[in-house]
């Protein structure tokens, strides 16, 4: 084989490797897009929400139909982290409220909730709170006045319990900090 033939052969081998990698990357992107679409559809069925942007925000937080219950616990996380710190009493109150909501310790929702409690979620204006707001506003569109009122009342009471878990000196005095109250006000505004 001539030198020119050998070079041509190596060029073809290089092109083959290059294009097979390129094709593999394209195929992987197609698989990811399909999986994302399927996850979005499953979440839409579970929530009744059809807005792609809201569904994507929820998915971006690691919430899927199996961990959807955790999204209802976001107010607890945001109140617990409102002052930038999470102490043992706030953590215990948040976990107790989650269990009272029927979130089992061995569920994906509980694990996701614990992960949110493990690090500050960037409460004010953060993506976690914004996704919860978008989800809740969409959900409220499906509910009647009485159900909306009950949902808001229950959610806010659970969040207040977490806020009251610490604060004051020796349990006396003002139990809810200004930061916690600001988050509570923001949560309450969602319910109108």
Domain boundary among 29, 47, 65: 47
What pLDDT shows up at residue 190?
92
What lies within 8 Å, CB to CB, of 52 at 6+ separation is 40
DSSP 8-class letter at 174: -
- Are residue 83 and residue 9 in the same domain, yes or no? no
What is the sign, positive or negative, of the torsion defined by CA atoms of 178, 179, 185, 189? positive
- Are residue 98 and residue 117 in the same domain, yes or no? yes
- Among 58, 52, 89, 88, which Cα is nearest to 71's? 58
Mean per-residue pLDDT over the chain, rounded: 81
- Are residue 43 and residue 62 in the same domain, yes or no? no
pTM score, two decimals? 0.66
- CA dist 147 and 143 (Å) reads 6
- Are residue 15 and residue 37 in the same domain, yes or no? yes
- CA dist 185 and 152 (Å) reads 12
Domain of residue 21, residue span: 1-47
Residue 84 DSSP SS3: coil
- Are residue 43 and residue 75 in the same domain, yes or no? no
- Total structural domains within the chain: 2
**At residue 170, does pLDDT exceed 50?**
no
The CA distances from residue 97 to 29, 45, 127, in Å, are 40, 26, 22
- Are residue 38 and residue 112 in the same domain, yes or no? no
- Are residue 112 and residue 73 in the same domain, yes or no? yes
Q: For residue range 30-59, list pLDDT tens digits in order.
A: 778 888 898 888 888 777 677 888 788 778
What lies within 8 Å, CB to CB, of 86 at 6+ separation is 80, 117, 120
- Are residue 55 and residue 42 in the same domain, yes or no? no
- Are residue 58 and residue 102 in the same domain, yes or no? yes
Q: For residue range 101-142, list pLDDT tens digits in order.
A: 888 888 888 888 898 898 887 655 578 888 888 888 888 887
- CA dist 72 and 34 (Å) reads 27
Q: For residue range 145-155, list pLDDT tens digits in order.
A: 888 888 888 88
Helix runs in 48-144, H state only = 52-60, 68-71, 74-80, 88-100, 108-118, 127-140
- CA dist 98 and 70 (Å) reads 8
Helix 52-60 / helix 3-47 crossing angle, nearest 10 deg? 100
- Are residue 89 and residue 28 in the same domain, yes or no? no
Residue 19 banded pLDDT, cuts 50, 70, 90: low
- Are residue 19 and residue 102 in the same domain, yes or no? no
């Amino acid at each position: 084989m001539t030198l020119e033939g050998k070079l041509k052969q190596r060029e073809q081998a290089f092109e083959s490797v290059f294009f097979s990698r390129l094709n593999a990357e394209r195929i992987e992107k197609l698989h990811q897009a399909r999986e994302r679409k399927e996850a979005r559809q499953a979440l839409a069925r579970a929530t009744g929400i059809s807005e792609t942007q809201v569904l994507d925000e929820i998915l971006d937080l690691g919430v899927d139909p199996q961990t959807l219950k955790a999204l209802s616990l976001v107010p607890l996380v945001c109140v617990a982290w409102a002052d930038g710190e999470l102490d043992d009493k706030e953590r215990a109150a948040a976990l107790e409220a989650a269990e009272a909501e029927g979130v089992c310790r061995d569920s994906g929702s509980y694990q996701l909730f614990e992960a949110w409690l493990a690090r500050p979620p960037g409460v004010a204006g953060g993506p976690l709170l914004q996704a919860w707001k978008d989800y809740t506003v969409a959900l409220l569109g499906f509910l009647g006045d009485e159900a909306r009122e009950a949902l808001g009342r229950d959610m806010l009471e659970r969040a207040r319990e977490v806020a009251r878990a610490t604060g004051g000196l020796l349990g006396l005095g003002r139990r809810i900090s200004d930061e916690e109250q600001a988050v509570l006000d923001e949560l309450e505004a969602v319910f109108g």
